Amino acid sequence: MPGAPNSPVGQPVAACKVLHWISVRIIKQPYFKPKPNWWISPPETPYPSEQFAGEITDGHKDAETDGKGSAVYLDIPSGKCSVKFKSFYLDIEKALHPHGFTNAQGLFDAPVPAAAGAPNFSVDLIVEKNLLTLKHDHKCKLEVKVTPPGLAVDEYRIEIKRASGGSWCTLSSTATLDPWFARIAGKLKLRGIAKIGGAEHQSGEKDVEVRFPDYNQIVADSAVQTEMSAAWCNTLNDCTANPNRRREYAFWILLNTLSDAYEFGPVVTGPWCAPADGAGANPGPRPPDKPATPAPCDQGATYSVGLFHTHTPTEFRAGGVPPGSTRPIGPSPPDESFHTANDVPGAIYDFVDSPAGSNSIPVGHPKNSPAKLYPTAGQTRRTTPK
Amino acid sequence: MKFFHFLLNSSVVVIVSTLGMALGMFYWGQNTPDLQGSAAVGRIHGAAHPMLTSPQALEIAYSAIKDSAEREKPGDIVVEFIQSKYRVRFFFVVSSERLLDHLLEVSVDPESRLAGKVEDKGCVAGLQQRSAEDGWETFLSGKRAFDLSVEALKGFDNYDKQGKLSIELRKSTYYVTFPLPHNEQPQPLAAAYAVQIWVDARSGKVLKVLVAS
């Protein structure tokens, strides 16, 4: 097709745009059986101002038909659309229920016993807790509640999706899910569905956040403690006077939510350091989650939730640094930056300061002196994905 | 230890380095001091060839501001290698709040070892905007704090000679920071500096010598 008059030079012809559109209309269909005498006369005009809820490919619509009984959406992406004329059907139900209307029957079929009056019911999803933490506080009760109780419900479903988008998936096909173990981190939405009288009725959407564990929860875990202690022990053993060297240890802390157990990345050692050198380690970038982007209905995932490393003793450094030197304890500014950049809390095994309150240890400090864990200041826990 | 091993392999560098240790003490008041005898072997962009060091650049820049009335006043100093030249910035304290400092900037060519024109940048936002304690007018200068720090190093030179050198006054303490040695395989979990020396801005006493973890 020709381009616009103001097309850039060299682009006189514009590529054809692939257009999609959809028209929503209520139209009269021929009667498939003779009309009874009492049947209301259809309006001459089409069905204007009919409210509908539509799932169009470019988003949800709450709208009504125009004066010609239609609504048109132009320039929409390809895909599936659906439209529900809820009030239209409610009007029909209201009009026909007294006469024993059921979906399965034609107008002239034998009548069935009269149903109860038009139900005035509601569907709700009760969520016990809307803030959960993987492994440590991930148990929650979900219940689809139909009010008034006693209504015949054909089918229940509890569905979940990410708040940021994506499709709904079914967590449960029962009215109650107790317990529901949250195993996928994220800002999520839940909804309950009850099928009543052949029609599905949804509850409002409920927000739930499933967080990663925080520093205190991670370092309190016995498996994590065992690994950290082993790394500290190796750090002390590697610090020797002859050869005069030392090195740091580091590893990523992972959480497998399927087994609800902490796991660990490979142990990384820093380069051997002489007394004059500063020690360090390069644990590499945060290991990707497995799967990389788990679906909310997945049974579990393995997440990187923290990073651990050690600092080294000063016992044998006196010959390599200025007399009277001390070294700071706890996370350094680069340590902080690295943890912040990787969006994880950090645990650092280092000595208790000596003298107390100095935030440092002297050079020559015995390597078997008291030590403890220090948290990084920035990230208490990894940020919840959207 | 690496340093001394290195010296044993080069008698020329022994002389160069020995003189270089005293560098901070001897090049006062010279506009283009002769630095032939200073610790000048180092790295620029990975090339190992004789090159001006950050402390030497500081000396040259300090000589270049000899006519400034503020030369001996307290404040921060930052020496950085930027776009093939050293940029030396002197932030002189003008008020205890230090919302603004008076900035003099000198560029130093690492090849010719000459200082460029002294640029008076006027009053600018201070580096850290750390306030100075009362009586700051009588504090040591940043350059004097640096000289005292070099003395406290006692020959320790395991730092990046061409790296960023900073002398920062906070309250009544100078923090003189020597950068970590250049590492071909950077360790992201590491110390922030090779050595940092805390100097009392009133007395000149060295309060702390902190080394990398």
Domain ranges across chain B: 2-211
B154, B188, B190 ranked by CB distance to A323: nearest: B154
> Domain limits of chain A?
122-211, 215-375
pLDDT in tens, chain A (386 residues): 444 444 445 454 445 555 688 888 777 776 766 676 666 666 666 677 777 788 888 888 878 777 777 888 888 888 888 888 766 666 666 555 544 444 444 444 444 444 444 457 899 999 999 999 999 999 999 999 999 888 899 999 999 999 999 999 999 999 999 999 999 999 999 999 999 988 999 999 999 999 999 999 999 999 999 999 999 999 999 999 999 999 999 999 999 999 999 999 999 999 999 999 999 999 999 999 999 999 999 999 999 999 999 999 999 999 999 999 999 999 999 999 999 999 999 999 999 999 999 999 999 999 999 999 999 998 899 999 99
Alpha helix ranges (H) inside chain A? 86-96, 215-220, 222-238, 333-342
Q: What is the pLDDT of residue A61?
A: 81
pLDDT score of B45 more than 60: no
Q: Which residue type does B145 have?
A: A
CA-based torsion, A250, A253, A259, A260: positive or negative: positive
Residues in A closer than 8 angstroms to B166, CB to CB, are none
| Min Cα–Cα distance to chain B from A52, Å | 57
pTM over 0.90: no
- pLDDT digit string (tens) for A200-216? 999 999 999 999 999 99
What's the mean per-residue pLDDT of chain B?
81
Is B162 strand, coil or helix? coil
Cβ atoms within 10 Å, residue A371: 19
| Percent of chain B clearing pLDDT 70 (strictly above) | 76
Residues in B closer than 8 angstroms to A242, CB to CB, are none
Residues in B closer than 8 angstroms to A325, CB to CB, are 195, 209-211
Q: Please give the ipTM for the structure prediction.
A: 0.74
Q: ∠ CA(A289), CA(A294), CA(A300), 5° rounding?
A: 85
Token readout for A5 is: 């008059």
Query: How many residues make up chain B in this entry?
Result: 213
Which helix (H) or strand (E) segment is A346 a member of? strand A346-351
The band of B94, judged by pLDDT with boundaries at 50, 70 and 90, is: very high
User: Under the phi-then-psi rule, with left for phi > 0, alpha for psi from -120 to 50, and beta for the rest, what region is A194?
Assistant: beta
Token readout for B89 is: 């910035």
Alpha carbon distances (Å) from A323 to A273, A329, B151: 19, 18, 11
More confident residue, B212 or A45: B212
pLDDT score of B11 more than 80: no
The band of B130, judged by pLDDT with boundaries at 50, 70 and 90, is: confident
| Min Cα–Cα distance to chain B from A305, Å | 17
DSSP A286: P
Token readout for A321 is: 């640094």
Alpha carbon distances (Å) from A216 to A95, A199, A220, A233, A379: 62, 48, 6, 21, 12
- pLDDT digit string (tens) for B151-205? 999 999 999 999 999 999 999 999 999 999 987 778 999 999 999 999 999 999 9
- Given an 8 Å threshold on Cβ–Cβ distance, is B189 in contact with A363? no
Q: Which residue type does A224 have?
A: V
- Among B38, B43, B33, B32, smallest CA distance to B13 is for B38
More confident residue, B129 or A173: A173
Q: What are phi and psi of A338, to 5 degrees?
A: -65, -40
Place of tokens 């982007």: A293
| Min Cα–Cα distance to chain A from B176, Å | 14
Residues in A closer than 8 angstroms to B1, CB to CB, are 274-276, 319-320
Q: What is the pLDDT of residue B12?
A: 35
Strand partners, A63: A52
3-state secondary structure string across A238-260 = HCECCCCEECCEEEEEEEECCCC
**Measured between alpha carbons, how far is B39 from B19 in angstroms, rounded to an integer?**
7
| Min Cα–Cα distance to chain B from A360, Å | 8
Alpha carbon distances (Å) from B136 to B67, B94, B140: 22, 9, 9
Is B85 strand, coil or helix? strand
Q: Please name the residues between 198 and 257 in chain A that touch chain B, using a CB distance below 8 Å.
A: 248, 250
Burial class (CB in 10 A: 0-12, 13-18, 19+), A137: middle
- Among A227, A233, A284, A222, smallest CA distance to A253 is for A227
Alpha carbon distances (Å) from A360 to A313, B41, B176, B212: 12, 33, 17, 11
Q: What is the pLDDT of residue A312?
A: 98
DSSP string, B128-188: S-PPBPTTGGGSPPHHHHHHHHHHHHTT---S-TTS-EEEEEEBTEEEEEEPPPP-SS--S
Is A366 strand, coil or helix? coil
Q: At what angle do helices B54-64 and B142-153 cross, to 10 degrees?
A: 150
**Measured between alpha carbons, how far is B177 from B77 in angstroms, rounded to an integer?**
11
Complete edge-to-edge strand list for the sheet that includes strand A122-127: A122-127, A139-147, A176-181
Architecture of the domain whose range is A122-211: Sandwich (2.60)
- pLDDT digit string (tens) for A117-174? 445 789 999 999 999 999 999 999 999 999 988 889 999 999 999 999 999 999 999 9
- Given an 8 Å threshold on Cβ–Cβ distance, is A327 in contact with B213? yes
Inter-chain CB pairs, A–B, below 8 Å: 103
Q: Which residue type does A43 have?
A: P
- Given an 8 Å threshold on Cβ–Cβ distance, is B185 in contact with A319? no
Q: Is beta strand B100-108 parallel, antiparallel or unpaired with respect to B41-44?
A: unpaired
- Given an 8 Å threshold on Cβ–Cβ distance, is A326 in contact with B211? yes
| Interface check B199 vs A, CB under 8 A | no
Is A319 strand, coil or helix? helix
- Given an 8 Å threshold on Cβ–Cβ distance, is B158 in contact with A317? no
Query: Which chain A residue shows the shortest CA-CA distance from B154?
Result: A322
Q: Which residue type does A325 have?
A: S
Let me know: does A201 contact A123? Beta carbons within 8 Å. Answer: yes
pLDDT score of B84 more than 50: yes
Q: What is the pLDDT of residue A272?
A: 97
Q: What is the pLDDT of residue A283?
A: 97
**Measured between alpha carbons, how far is A154 from B2 in angstroms, rounded to an integer?**
81
C-alpha count within 13 angstroms, C-beta hemisphere, residue A166: 20
